[in-house]
Amino acid sequence: MILIDGKKAAAELRAELKEEVAELKSKHNKVPGLTVILIGDLTPSQIYVRNKEKSANEVGLKSEVIKYPDSVEEKTVLEKIQELNNDETVSGILVQLPLPKHIDKQKVIEAIDPSKDVDGFHPMNVGNLSSGYESSIPCTPLGCYLLIKKIEPNLSGKKAVVVGRSNLNGKPMTQLLLKENCTVTITHSKTKDLKAECLEADIIVAAVGIPELVRGDWVKKDSIVIDVGINKTDNGIVGDVHFDEVSKNAKALTPVPGGVGPMTIACLLKNTIDCFKRSQI
Ligand code: GUN
């Protein structure tokens, strides 16, 4: 079984991006900039944002974090986004989710200039991705896609099963796999026989948020299994895949942690650089 090392893959991607930033700097005399807006004091969000900032600095991006208290008015956030949209030194804007209840997530996402939307959540980018046009691609599915391609460069005709249909993961993952000519089945919590669907798959991407849902006898030999889940349980953090069981059957599997997670952040840096490059044309 190949244990897919997301930490190593992310470090390699960051090294490539660092070189690219240095080249862009010498060509344009400026570097791409990422601005993250963090509202409230949720611990996981704070940890994510700190990691994003650290990685951005490591590859040489200009990085800024704007923090607001939980009580901040929606209007204040929308005005700040407008200001960042008009700021030439800002290539990418990310508003860390989840947001406090009184702030309308969709309004915030739609306020971001689609050309600076490093999350790929703006309806314009969602539409462009599903139409097969150039767009920002949500970081987690992009990271999964790059890991899958490392194991299997030619995905044409492969059967892929995506478990989970969220806008963040399942839906964009489906679009990426379709673009590679996979036959994709989207499954979710209401799917009748999830095991039977998974048993058909050459590639399984589990992004449903149910601890250790995908069992050893759900996967066929030679399948590639990507685990997007991060679930807190009494036994610590586990994925959506039962690691011990599935590792006995699959051809390749991502661990949790150390699989998809590090790639997500590296892909955010990639998206920031790609937004910068498109803005320089
Ligand atoms: N919170 C958890 N994951 C993400 C993400 O990918 N983007 C944003 N903006 N917030 C998140």
The contacts of residue 188 (CB under 8 Å, 6+ apart) are 163, 164, 165, 170, 208
Strand partners, 161: 185, 204
Dist. CA 96 → ligand 1 center (Å): 5
119 noted as active-site residue: yes
Per-residue pLDDT at 3: 98
Which of 96, 108, 140 for mutating ligand 1's site (highest number of atoms within 8 Å of CB)? Answer: 96
- Domains along the chain with CATH numbers: 29-114 (3.40.50.10860), 139-261 (3.40.50.720)
Which of 25, 43, 41 lies closest to 33, judged by CA? Answer: 25
Per-residue pLDDT at 189: 87
Burial 231-259 (b: 16+ CB within 10 A, else e): beeeeeebbbbbbebbbebbbbbbbbeeb
Which of 93, 94, 103 for mutating ligand 1's site (highest number of atoms within 8 Å of CB)? Answer: 94
Per the document, the length of the chain is 281
Nearest CA to ligand 1 atom 8: 96
Per-residue pLDDT at 262: 97
The DSSP code for 99 is P
Query: Among positive and negative, which fits the CA dihedral 39, 41, 42, 48?
Result: positive
Dist. CA 249 → ligand 1 center (Å): 32
Dist. CA 97 → ligand 1 center (Å): 5
- Please state whether the peptide bond connecting residue 123 to the residue before it is cis, i.e. omega within 30 degrees of 0: no
Q: Which residues in 8-137 belong to E strands, given as ranges?
A: 33-39, 62-68, 92-95
What is the residue whose two structure tokens read 């790929």? 120
Per-residue pLDDT at 63: 98
Dist. CA 26 → ligand 1 center (Å): 31
- Cα three-residue angle 147-151-156, rounded to 5 degrees: 95
Per-residue pLDDT at 14: 98
Set 80, 113, 117, 119: catalytic member: 119
CA distance 120 to 182: 22
Phi and psi dihedrals of 134, rounded to 5? -65, 135
Q: Tens of pLDDT along the chain (281 residues)?
A: 999 999 999 999 999 999 999 999 999 999 999 999 999 999 999 999 999 999 999 999 999 999 999 999 999 999 999 999 999 999 999 999 999 999 999 999 999 999 999 999 999 999 999 999 999 999 999 999 999 999 999 999 999 999 999 999 999 999 999 999 999 999 998 999 999 999 999 999 999 999 999 999 999 999 999 999 999 999 999 999 999 999 999 999 999 999 999 999 999 999 999 999 999 97
Set 96, 117, 158, 202: catalytic member: 96
8 Å CB contact between 55 and 44: no
171 noted as active-site residue: no
Per-residue pLDDT at 191: 97
Residue 160, helix vs strand vs coil: strand
Per-residue pLDDT at 20: 98
Ligand 1 shell residues, CB under 6 Å: 94-97, 119, 139-140
Q: Which atom belonging to ligand 1 lies closest to the Cα atom of 95? A: 9
Query: Among positive and negative, which fits the CA dihedral 214, 202, 169, 58?
Result: positive
- Cα three-residue angle 274-49-275, rounded to 5 degrees: 10
**What would the two tokens of residue 183 be?**
């036959």
Dist. CA 7 → ligand 1 center (Å): 19
Q: Which atom belonging to ligand 1 lies closest to the Cα atom of 97? A: 10
82 noted as active-site residue: no
Per-residue pLDDT at 281: 73
Per-residue pLDDT at 70: 97
Name the burial class of residue 192, with classes exposed (0-12), middle (13-18) and buried (19+) by CB atoms within 10 angstroms of its CB. exposed
Farthest-apart Cα atoms in the chain, separation: 56
